[in-house]
């Protein structure tokens, strides 16, 4: 199993902070944001990692992450996404050579979680496994629809729906087999002009190869000022209990 951290994009929702550096290098309490998804992978036993990034501050990653040894990474590589707004699937396609037909665990660079994904990683065989979390505002995310006759079975995923069909959000953590790259080459840009990871997940649904697991623990995607603040507060309280 290899790990992919997707840390591209321009982080425009966090201007003017992201005029200074890449969103994924902004601080979450006492560490750069990207340290958290890397720690999730390393804790799960994944120590061969590719970081995909883009935008004007890509050089900052090298000075922060270096060769990854201090973070428990045995082998670290970087890839550059030429279109920062090309979408998650567009960024993921850059990992094909790195994956080398191995299964991959993919995590977005703005995801912070203390959930342990070790067991789903160990049990993975083929297809795809997506990680879900109950949230108060599912309309901000990809939302799964469950089979009314089998509430553990996903029959479709809708991206940022106005009327969510469940209270679960598709978090930015996924496990894929090598077929994911074949599927990326089949999809077309959405109305947003992006290659959507939701379209990839729906292909796995159609092929009856999509499984899911719930993230047990804290999870936050730090894409807005509010979620950035909440993540900072949570991790400060976790490390310094009296600060809660």
Backbone angles phi, psi at 195, to 5 degrees: -85, 110
How many residues comprise the chain?
244
Buried b (16+ CB within 10 A) or exposed e, 17-28: ebeebbbbbbeb
Closest CA to 108 of 164, 56, 33: 33
DSSP string, the chain: -EEEEEE-S--GGGTTGGGTS-GGGSEETTEETTHHHHHHHHHTT--EEEEEE-STTTHHHHHHHTTSGGGT-SEEEEEE-S-TTS-HHHHHGGGHHHHTT--EEEEETTEEE----HHHHHH--SSEEEEEEE-S-GGGSEEEEEETTEEEEEEEEEES-SS-SSSEEEEEEEEE-TTHHHHHTT----TTSS--HHHHHHHHHHTT-EEEEE--S-EEE--SHHHHHHHHHHHHHHHSGGG-
Residue 9 is predicted with a pLDDT of 84
Question: Tens-digit pLDDT profile for the chain (244 aa)?
Answer: 999 999 988 888 889 988 999 999 999 999 999 999 999 999 999 999 999 999 889 999 999 999 999 999 999 999 999 888 888 999 999 999 999 999 999 999 999 999 999 999 999 999 999 999 999 989 989 999 999 988 889 999 999 999 999 999 999 999 999 999 999 999 998 888 889 999 999 999 999 999 999 999 999 999 899 999 999 999 999 877 654 4
Residue 241 is predicted with a pLDDT of 64
Residue 242 is predicted with a pLDDT of 56
Distance from first CA to last CA of the chain, Å, rounded? 37
CB-count burial class (<10 Å; 0-12, 13-18, 19+) for 114: middle
C-alpha dihedral (181, 183, 186, 191), degrees to nearest 10: -100
Please report the domains of the chain, with CATH numbers, ordered by start residue. 2-243 (3.90.550.10)
Residue 11 is predicted with a pLDDT of 80
């Amino acid at each position: 199993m290899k790990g992919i951290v997707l840390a591209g994009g321009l982080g425009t929702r966090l201007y003017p902070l992201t005029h200074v550096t890449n969103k994924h290098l902004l601080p979450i309490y006492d560490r750069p944001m990207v340290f958290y998804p890397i720690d999730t992978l390393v804790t799960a036993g994944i120590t061969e990692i590719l970081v995909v990034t883009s935008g004007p501050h890509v050089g900052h990653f090298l000075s922060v992450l270096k060769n990854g040894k201090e973070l428990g990474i045995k082998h670290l590589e970087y890839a550059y996404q030429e279109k920062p707004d090309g979408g998650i699937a567009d960024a993921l396609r850059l990992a094909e050579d790195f994956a080398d037909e191995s299964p991959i665990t993919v995590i977005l660079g703005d995801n912070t979680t203390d959930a342990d994904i070790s067991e789903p990683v160990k049990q993975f065989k083929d297809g795809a496994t997506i990680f879900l979390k109950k949230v108060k505002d599912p309309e901000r995310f990809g939302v799964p629809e469950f089979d009314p006759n089998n509430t553990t079975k996903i029959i479709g995923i809708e991206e940022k729906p106005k009327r969510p069909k469940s209270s679960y959000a598709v978090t930015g953590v996924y496990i894929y087999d090598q077929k994911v790259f074949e599927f990326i080459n089949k999809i077309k840009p959405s109305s947003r002009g992006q290659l959507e990871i939701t379209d990839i997940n729906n292909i796995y649904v159609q092929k009856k190869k999509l499984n899911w697991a719930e993230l047990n623990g804290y999870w936050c995607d730090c894409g807005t000022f509010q979620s950035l603040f909440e993540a900072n507060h949570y991790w400060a309280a976790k490390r310094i209990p009296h600060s809660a």
